Structure 1
């Protein structure tokens, strides 16, 4: 049989495996190994390429550190304090708790940089509260899934690190470019949330009390400080993204270890309403002990152990696609569409449909090197295109049949996957609207960048 026939059969085979639920890493790995034999490439070549990815990937060191940061702030109770603050600010609006969960997702994303961690943390904390507050359990779970989409857009972002590594772009500038689009995504979803909750009468209202807002703001000061530390360091150039990740991890470790004994001495309780706590109690999070640190690190290492091999194998997949001429074929198709806007919207359609069946990491690694140069050739700013590309990839987290965040939300809430789909539609409409807006208005991504 011809090489093309073998590649087609291998592709159909791994697609069937993917539909059966085989992990994406194994699916891509099987495809790479099969196509390597068809093209006459040795396994030595694949091993060398896998090793080369990490030998030249200093920027990738930020990825496990930001993942660890997310686990530290969750374990220390900082994430819960951020959620309390968001609810104190929005609880007086119809659907306020759901809107607060979306706001909490944005705040958590500004420290962790992970979509799945954002969905899992906020979903596990606020889904039971939303159900108690009169919200439909399916809507509550869908809200957590949708909120997690900003995890890779609001800096620091793990996927921005990967994109910058692949395309040789300054990661600090990518981080800054994601601030406004990420905020718009949160606001857009909150607006959709408010409409749905108002139509259904969901949620118990709480009065807007300045005292409550101030107390929860003071209680979340460690979270705000961590967010400010990352953004200040990167925006001013004091830290590289990798250094910022290391500094943030160090801060979270110190904060958690110092807070634990103080919390025990003061007798602060997490089950007490913020309005009933003293300012002194609100300033101290739960914290953790030294013996607990290894388990936190192991959890973060497990997530890194999933992502890192996927990055490496996807780079090899990109090499094989190039040898097969796939990149040239896609490139010629996009280029043939015409000028600036035709290339832009064709690229967006490709990213959107790819995100429906693949996680953002392989989408980025496979398509970014193909589409970004074409976009640049028609005058689209590389930083602007990176934001467009990754906002589109993030929407794939709530689009079936893949929809990683839907699986995560289903796992932490117990609501079956297919029962979530109906309630993701309003959020999907909101995110698509923001995506189009960001693509048409470059300043939304570029205005905060330092002027040369």
Structure 2
């Protein structure tokens, strides 16, 4: 039997396994091992290369730290304060609570760097409130799923760390380049949310109160400080992304440990809305005890334990694809389009299709090393293309049949996956529109970079 036929059978087999629910890590690993046998690559190369990924990947240390940051700000109550602030600013508009959920996703993303953590945290907090406020439960869950897409675009971003590591680009530059496109994604989804809610008459309006805005802003000051700390440190070059992650983790632990006893002393109820708290208690969050830290760390380690092996095995997959000539084949196809825009939009189409069936991490590790050099050869700025690529990958989080955020939102809200699609598709349209604008306007990604 010809090698190409065997590889085709292996590919079909792992595709079936993926459709049956086999974890992506195992699917890729089975494919790598099977194809290595066929093309004659020694299996000890697989183990050595997977280990080598982490031996030379200092930048990857930021990934588990930012994951831990997301869990700490959720447990400490900082995330709740940020969502309260967003609602106080937007609750006077039709669909204000849903728009606040999207805004809270943007604020949470500016500390955590994870799409699934953003969706899970904001979805679990605000979905019940939205349903009580008269919103359709399907729309409420879809809003949390769509809002989570900015988790990997607004810095800090775990996937930007991986992209910068793979493509040898300054991660701090990638972080800064994601600020404006990520903000546009939030604005685009808010506009969509406002239109949907206005048509359906969803949501109870609250009076815009300067006092309420100021109270919730004071209550969220620790969250704002954490966001500013990360962006200031990276933008000014005071911190590397890894150092920024470590500093943020330390800040969140200190805040959480100090806030818990202070709340006990003040006798503050954690369930009391920020706007109803005393002035003194607004300056501290709910916090946590030292005994809760191990469980928080274990949860973060579990997520890291899923992502880290996936990075390693995907790098080996990239090598196998290269040995098979797949990279040359794809490269020749894209190059044959000819010209700046045909090549760029062909690359975007490939990212979009890949995002429909794969998570952003394997999409990035497999396609970025192929497409980035090709687009650079026709004049696309590497930093600009990184933003284009990852905005496209983030859209895949709400694109069936994979749509990771849809699964996460379904899990935390109890709304069946397929019932989310009606409203998530409307958010998908707005995100694609923003994606095209970002692709056609390099300044949106490069304007904040001092050397561009």
Output the TM-score relative to the length of structure 2.
0.99
Partner of 2:209: 209
Partner of 1:175: 175
State how far apart, in whole Å, the 1-side matches of 2:77 and 2:274 are: 14
Aligned to 1:244, the other structure's residue is in SS state helix
State how far apart, in whole Å, the 2-side matches of 1:272 and 1:424 are: 32
Deviation per CA, 1:168-218, whole angstroms, max 9, x where unpaired? Answer: 000000000000000000000000000000000000000000010000000
Partner of 2:318: 318
Partner of 1:302: 302
Give the C-alpha shift of residue 153 in structure 1. Answer: 0.1
Aligned to 2:182, the other structure's residue is in SS state helix
Partner of 1:61: 61
Q: Which runs of structure 2 are paired with 1:30-429 in the superposition (5 Å)?
A: 30-429=30-429
Give the C-alpha shift of residue 272 in structure 1. Answer: 2.0
Q: Is the 8 A contact 2:81 2:274 kept in 1?
A: no
Deviation per CA, 1:339-398, whole angstroms, max 9, x where unpaired? Answer: 100111000000000000000000000000000000100000000000000000000000
Aligned to 1:94, the other structure's residue is in SS state coil
The unaligned stretches of length 5 or more in structure 2 are none
Report how many residues are paired: 452
Deviation per CA, 1:224-244, whole angstroms, max 9, x where unpaired? Answer: 000000000000000000000
Give the C-alpha shift of residue 333 in structure 1. Answer: 0.4
State how far apart, in whole Å, the 2-side matches of 1:173 and 1:381 are: 12
Give the C-alpha shift of residue 274 in structure 1. Answer: 2.8
Q: Is the 8 A contact 2:66 2:158 kept in 1?
A: yes
Output the TM-score relative to the length of structure 1.
0.99
Give the C-alpha shift of residue 245 in structure 1. Answer: 0.3
State how far apart, in whole Å, the 2-side matches of 1:422 and 1:315 are: 36
Aligned to 2:288, the other structure's residue is in SS state coil
State how far apart, in whole Å, the 1-side matches of 2:5 and 2:275 are: 68
Deviation per CA, 1:148-171, whole angstroms, max 9, x where unpaired? Answer: 000000000000000000000000
State how far apart, in whole Å, the 1-side matches of 2:252 and 2:390 are: 28
Aligned to 1:81, the other structure's residue is in SS state helix
Give the C-alpha shift of residue 273 in structure 1. Answer: 2.8
After TM superposition, what 4+ stretches of structure 1 lie above 6 angstroms from structure 2?
A: none
Give the C-alpha shift of residue 276 in structure 1. Answer: 1.9
Aligned to 1:41, the other structure's residue is in SS state coil
Deviation per CA, 1:314-341, whole angstroms, max 9, x where unpaired? Answer: 0000000001111000000000001100
